[in-house]
Chain A
């Protein structure tokens, strides 16, 4: 039988401007190895762990714990390191010299700098922080990565393979070059979402584990699904058929009061998404979410919508959050008040 899965704690961090990401004294050592997205995830996870304040390691010894992380950019070298690298290369040769670049890194950088390049390191750091002993994984599913991480944790708890899942995502604000690449495709230009540095995390627990520590739940996960939108991948257009399939797979009842937060990564697709969800769930109340008010955060966007909605107060009705990402990756999460 499938086990019930609850969200017991949340954490998030949004940094709108180019200010350094705060690092707490407790996590300073850990954070040396984290790139921007990892720092944002770990700060969010740390906040969630504090929220679940009776989450003691002694109690955890009896339970299997996993970590699942969603990231967007796998080349997000910290800017200060790139500045150093590029300045050196500019001073030593007329044009870009790959060999010069390579040997500068080999001769001048330490493990701290090079490890930031490795996509799964934030996941390792989070596993270390949470003393996790079970599986862990990093998902690079474009903007759907965060909710894919939630789905992975949810399914493993549901099937009894783990009892606790620390799930989250982090996303570094696009740098100048990436912005230009996005802009060349018509995304994130005037009128589209503003791009944020943001991270978000959830602690998911089985009912049994939550009861054993007399913890409170913020919401119950009813379903989590993902699928692929080939039309978005190949033709850069909203994929009605895949969206419909995703929503039907979620098993959302049409007779209950449900809020739906729009998940398209660009405003270009919002009206089609709104129409599509109204066709499937006519009574749903459609919300724009934090991407409209604060900005968009790629892989963290889905989880961030959940954390910011739950921060507003007690969940009184069902909530569906989707992430319809660049490249065709799609995921969605349906949560409800604790029964």
Chain B
């Protein structure tokens, strides 16, 4: 069976638009959270990402004046960075059997344009669809993956998976299987998302999972007793996942290996996770089983850690259940206090943080853990990064709607 290795990574996030500055900001405790700039949403905290260069457009032969949907731009920018990192060009990708699997948008920024158009359609008589949007903006949910394959002129499988906050982790898991099966040499996997839009902000508000804290920078406090919910964010991450033989042929040193993945569905309740933590336990145990990795080998867990009462409590319970007496000695952290919850892209962004931790031997902290919760009593790496040489990492992504995925990564 082929090994699935990561040979390139690209990111756009509230903490930076390249993997080095993202990780440096992460370990220096910097926050990417502030009051959302857009006036309509300014009462809410958010982690905004900003794309401020166009060099990626030239790389893909896209005209500078061409306007693309925000998530497509995020995905293409991250792809550009990942391809540079992996030493790949469009021509080289076409020479290989290449597939694309992206975690799809939970919603998308252009939804406002859709609403505007519908408003115009209903009350202003005639409608010119181009007035507010292009077709691609209307269907931004699947546009990012199509654009990635389109600009590269790829003819392999292309999929957009929408598994809420576990979407991109699921995409990475599926990419791993495609590589292991020998069907593809390279899979471009990841996701792009922005929760900064009417639909997502209203959804999180109505479901009462959004932090209402006035102190925007500290508003997301995973595993803290004073936690009040999550903060939405935006960004994208792309991984170049490649068979070890293809990487060896290209003489590329892998950044990490994906050794295990498992996805399960929690059907207990539409808005609450399984209150025993059982479904999270199954995802984590399944990933260990798929990696043929004993639990004692896990050196660090990058938690889903949203900062909501139940997620953090049940993830803690599940970690204890899977790792038993070892659970208290495994460092666990959530980066969402600094990035916000980047929804369907959170899995890939946290995967990038985990790979950087493997490479640098530095574990990112859980920031703003200001008050100890007796029910959340693991080693959460509070407030400051930790130096530790590690070999194997687990990364958890638990999706709203019961779709839970865990991944196991090893040093390349």
Q: Is A180 an interface residue (CB 8 A)?
A: yes
CA A102 to CA B199, docked complex, whole Å: 8
- A102 contacts across to B, CB distance below 8 A: 40-41, 198, 201-202
User: How far is B409's CA from A84's CA once the two chains are assembled, in angstroms?
Assistant: 48
Q: A67-B265, A228-B157, A328-B149 are known contacts. Are A118 and B400 too (CB-CB below 8 A)?
A: yes
A228 touches B141 (CB 8 A): no
> CB-CB < 8 A to A73: which residues of B?
139, 141
A51 at the interface (CB under 8 A from B): no
Residues of A within 8 A of B264 (CB): 133-135
Q: How far is the CB of A233 from chain B (nearest CB, A)?
A: 4
Nearest opposing residue in chain A for B202, CB measure:
A105
Interface centre among A90, A118, A125 (most CB of B within 10 A): A118
Contact indicator B121/A141 (Cβ below 8 Å):
no
Contact of A33 with B by CB under 8 A? yes
Contact between B161 and A138 (Cβ–Cβ < 8 Å)? Answer: yes
How far, in angstroms, from A151 to B400 measured CA to CA in the complex?
24
Chain B interface residue count, Cβ-Cβ cutoff 8 angstroms:
69
CB distance from A268 to the nearest CB of B (A): 15
Partner of A89 from B41, B119, B121 at Cβ < 8 Å: B119
User: Taking the complex as formed, is A110 at the interface, i.e. its CB lies under 8 A from any CB of chain B?
Assistant: yes
Interface residues of A in 62-96 (CB under 8 A from B): 66-67, 71, 73-75, 82, 86, 89-90, 95-96
Min CB distance B269 to A, Å, is: 9
Question: Closest approach, in angstroms, between the C-beta of A244 and any C-beta of chain B?
Answer: 10
A328 to chain B, nearest CB (A): 6
A118 touches B164 (CB 8 A): yes
Which residue on chain A has the smallest CB distance to residue B135?
A181
Q: Closest chain B residue to A176 by CB distance?
A: B121
B92 at the interface (CB under 8 A from A): no
Bound complex: CA of A130 vs CA of B177, how far in Å? 25
- B77: min CB distance to chain A, Å: 19
Indicate whether A287 reaches chain B with its CB closer than 8 angstroms: no
CB contact list, B119-134 vs A, under 8 A: 119-123, 127, 129-130, 133
Does B163 lie within 8 Å of A138, measured CB to CB? yes
Given A98-B40, A139-B161: A114 touches B114 (CB 8 Å cut-off): no
Smallest CB separation, B7 vs chain A (Å)? 21
> A74-B162, A117-B199, A328-B150 are contacts. A137–B170 as well, Cβ < 8 Å?
yes
Contact with A241, one of B155, B162, B181 (Cβ below 8 angstroms): B155
B2 within 8 A of A: no
A25 within 8 A of B: no
Which of these, B41, B120, B157, contacts A226 with CB under 8 Å? Answer: B157
Residues A180 and B127 in contact in the complex (CB < 8 Å), given A133-B264, A329-B158:
yes
In the docked arrangement, what's the CA distance between A301 and B198, Å?
31
B202:A114 contact, CB within 8 angstroms: yes
Nearest Cβ on chain A to B196's Cβ, whole angstroms: 11
How far is it, in angstroms, between the C-alpha of A228 and the C-alpha of B271 when the chains are bound?
35
Q: How many residues of A contact B (CB 8 A)?
A: 72
Determine if B270 is an interface residue (Cβ-Cβ < 8 Å): yes
- B203 contacts A117, C-beta separation under 8 Å: yes
CA distance A276 to B123 in the complex (A): 46
Q: Is the CB of A75 within 8 A of B114?
A: yes
Q: Which residue of A lies closest to B123 (CB)?
A: A90
- Complex interface residues of chain A between 11 and 43 (CB less than 8 A to chain B): 33
**A124–B403 contact, CB under 8 A?**
yes
Is B104 located at the chain interface by the 8 A CB criterion? Answer: yes
In the assembled complex, which residues on chain A have CB atoms less than 8 Å from the CB atom of B403?
120, 123-124, 135-137
Q: Which residue of B lies closest to A231 (CB)?
A: B153
Cα distance A140–B146 when bound, in Å?
11
Shortest distance from the beta carbon of B43 to any chain A beta carbon, whole Å: 9
CB-based nearest A residue for B148: A228
Residue in A96, A105, A176, A241 with the greatest tally of chain B CB atoms within 10 Å? A96
B265 and A133 contact, CB distance less than 8 A:
yes
CB pair A141–B159 under 8 Å, yes or no, is: yes
Determine if A101 and B198 form an interchain contact, defined as CB atoms under 8 angstroms apart. yes
The answer on a CB contact under 8 Å between A227 and B157 is: yes
- Judging by beta carbons under 8 Å apart, are A329 and B142 in contact? yes
CB pair B206 A105 closer than 8 Å: yes
Determine if B338 is an interface residue (Cβ-Cβ < 8 Å). no
List 21 interface pairs A-B (beta carbons < 8 Å), by A numbering.
A74-B104, A75-B111, A75-B141, A86-B118, A96-B119, A102-B201, A109-B202, A109-B206, A110-B206, A114-B202, A118-B203, A135-B265, A136-B163, A136-B265, A137-B403, A139-B162, A140-B141, A177-B117, A182-B135, A242-B155, A327-B139
Known contacts A75-B114, A117-B107, A228-B158; can you find 14 more A-B pairs with CB under 8 A? A86-B119, A120-B164, A120-B401, A135-B170, A138-B161, A139-B160, A140-B141, A177-B117, A184-B129, A184-B130, A228-B154, A230-B153, A327-B143, A328-B146
Q: Which residues of A contact B (CB under 8 A)?
A: 33, 66-67, 71, 73-75, 82, 86, 89-90, 95-96, 98-99, 101-102, 105-106, 109-111, 113-115, 117-121, 123-125, 127-128, 131-142, 148, 159, 176-178, 180-182, 184-185, 225-230, 233-234, 241-242, 245, 326-329
